[in-house]
Each structure stands twice: as structure tokens, then as C-alpha cells.
Amino acid sequence: MSEERRLEVLRAIVEDYVTTREPVGSRMIADRHGLGVSSATIRNDMAVLEESGYITQPHTSAGRIPTDKGYRVFVDRLSRIKSLSSPEKRAIETFLSDAVDLDDVVTRAGRLLAQLTGQVAVVQYPSLRRSGLRHLELVPMGERRLLVVIITDTGRVEQRVLELAGTVDEVTLAELRVRLNVAAAGRRLADVTGALDVAVDALRPEDQDTARRVAALVVETLGEESEERIVLTGTANLAQAGMRFEHALRPVLEALEEQVVLLNLLTEMSADGQAGVAVRIGHETQLAGLQEASVVTSGYGAALGGPLGTGGAARDAVALVGSIGPTRMDYPGTIAAVRAVARYLSRILEA
């Protein structure tokens, strides 16, 4: 019983510290949380929690605040994620559905998440490597040049110019376009190579060289990682009183400017999400500038299953969306907002 009570005391400290941004004392817990024990008993529990490294005393005669270890236990033991209100859900759906293209979708998602959380939003562009091919267009640009337009199922449009060994007439080009689209449409990088090889082998020998060049270009483009990028929104929120960090703000801003490093962190987090959500707290980010920050992410894309507001793993998601704020953040609220935006992003991309 004492172990469960101590966890309740820890939960109370986290929730009160998030709300008040002030160290939490035993009397406040006894008065506000109805644990059914005296403040003296709560003080004893706090002493055990402090000795175990879950809370710390920032100043002599002050209350206690959670440590990274304490936040981790709190997050791991969340019994429920508070749901967004119906108006919030409708606002997300309406705002994102009005987007006109992928750039607009990504920008809107970032602005919306920053507004919902009051923190910094980060949205990763869909990865070409994890995207599927929706359509392939072949446009002649002279006798021996071909514009290859690759449209992915996540809305990305890539254009490449291909130099041909010889001329190709319109009839042959139309046949190549149809055959390659039938073979590769809806497939991701892991499957598209074999499908295109089969389609090329089935063509007339005189058409195979051109088709093989186009197929190689498609595979090369879908395999590119250099164009992956992220969009940060709501950086100005860092200056607000509610986003106050324990020490200097500058290291956080500098860490956010290093987008390659931030992208690497998102890539790492894509592997450790549970129920579609991953949380890195303070030192867990392994980035010096984010030691006082937490990052909450969720995958989005065609493979993200499950209805809005439920679990469901982000299986093979094409990219991540997330929120960055101080370790003293509203974890249930942030997780709910990130998950909701990720699921609506998935719906928009699938439409």
C-alpha cells in the first residue's frame, strides 16, 4: 500500500508543479489531493521518493520538484490520455482539410499543434524512402530528354530530367507510362524495384533500355534521404512565462537550430514509440541543449492504424509530428494533442 501511495504522491507533485511552477510541499498535497493520510505521512513518502531520485529539493526549506526520473515514472504510468474536446477535434479536421498541397498541410499541422500545446511544434516531411508511388508521369523535353515526374502517396512531387540514349515516340512513351504505373503504383521502396524489373522484362527488347533507365531513376529518387527536412513552429512560445525553463533559454534555441541533430533525434524516437507515441524527457534526449526539455512525438502516414484517441502503433509511419517543451509540461494534454494531429494528418494524406 505504501508503494502505491508514494506513486500517488509523486503524481500529485508532478501535476501541482506543472500547474503552479512552484515547488510542492506536503501540506499542499494533503489539502488538494485527498490521499487520506496526514501531511506527516506524506513528508515521509516524499523523503523516500527523494532518496530514490524521483524528486528533489531545489532550495532549503522549499517543497519538492520532480526529476527526469520522476517524470519518466509519471509518463509510463499514465492510466489514460485526456481526450480533446469535440470542438477541438472539429477544428483540427477543418483546419487541416482546407490545405491545398503537402507544404500547406505540413505548415498548418505545425501551427495547429503549437497553438494546442503552447509549445514548439515540429513536423517532419514525409520520407521518400517510406513513401509509396502514387503516379509516374513521363513528359518529353526534346528528342533525347525526358522529364520524369514522381508523385508519392504522401503528396510529395519530385521531378527529374533523364537523358536518353535514343529517341522515343509518343506511342512507346504512352505504353511505358501505363506499364510502369500498373507495376509500381502503391508500392514502397522495398517492393518497387522488383515490380519494375518484372515490368521492364515484359516489354519489347527495343523499349527495355529506356524503361530500365526510368525505373532506375524512380528507385534512386525514392531512396533519397538528403531531402528529408522538418518544420519548426511556435518557437516564440519559448519566451512565454508558461514555457520558462529552469535555467537559460539560449541552449534550447541553439539545439532547435541544429535541424540535422533534431532530425536524428526524431529518427531515433520513431523506434521507441508505444501506442503510437514516444516521449523523451530531459537527459534522455542525449542533446545538451535539450536537457531541460521533453519531446513528444507520434508517427503519421498511411500505415498509422486505430481510431482517433485510441492506441494503435505507428507501424511504418512515413514521418513524425511532435511537440517540444520544458520537462515541466502537461504530458497528458501534449500526448493527446500530438496523437490527434498525427491521426488527422494520416487521414489527409490518405484522402
Residues 101 and 157 in one domain: no
How does strand 120-124 pair with strand 230-233? antiparallel
Q: Is residue 81 part of a domain?
A: no
Whole-number pLDDT of residue 303: 46
- Check if the beta carbon of residue 32 is closer than 8 Å to that of residue 11: no
Domain that holds residue 205: 133-222
Whole-number pLDDT of residue 248: 65
Last residue of a domain, one of 196, 222, 248: 222
Residues 104 and 69 in one domain: no
Residues 250 and 118 in one domain: yes
Residues 207 and 252 in one domain: no
The count of structural domains within the chain is 3
What pTM was computed for the model?
Answer: 0.78
CATH number at residue 62: 1.10.10.10
Helix H segments across the chain? Answer: 2-20, 26-33, 39-51, 68-76, 86-97, 102-117, 170-184, 189-201, 205-222, 250-257, 259-269, 331-350
Lowest mean pLDDT among 77-91, 169-183, 277-291: 77-91
Residues 183 and 327 in one domain: no
Last residue of a domain, one of 201, 222, 243: 222
pLDDT tens figures, 325-347? 999 999 999 999 999 999 998 88
Listed residue (244, 246, 285) closest to 66, CA to CA: 246
Residues 316 and 277 in one domain: yes
Listed residue (317, 319, 299, 314) closest to 126, CA to CA: 319
Residues 157 and 284 in one domain: no
CATH number at residue 312: 3.30.450.40
Lowest mean pLDDT among 54-63, 149-158, 171-180, 266-275: 266-275
User: Could you count the other beta carbons within 10 Å of the beta carbon of residue 288?
Assistant: 10
- pLDDT-derived band of residue 306, with 50, 70 and 90 as boundaries? very low
Residues 238 and 331 in one domain: yes
pLDDT tens figures, 125-150? 887 777 788 899 999 998 889 999 99
Last residue of a domain, one of 76, 95, 115: 76
Q: What 3-state class would DSSP assign to 158?
A: strand
C-alpha cell at position 64? 519538492
What is 211-278 written as a DSSP string?
A: HHHHHHHHHHHHT--TT--EEEE-GGGGGSGGG--SS-SHHHHHHHH-HHHHHHHHHHHTTS-BTTEE
Distances (CA, A) of 125 to 38, 128, 140, 303: 52, 9, 29, 16
Residues 29 and 95 in one domain: no
In angstroms, the CA 243 to CA 238 distance is 5
Residues 214 and 235 in one domain: no
Whole-number pLDDT of residue 188: 79
Residues 236 and 339 in one domain: yes
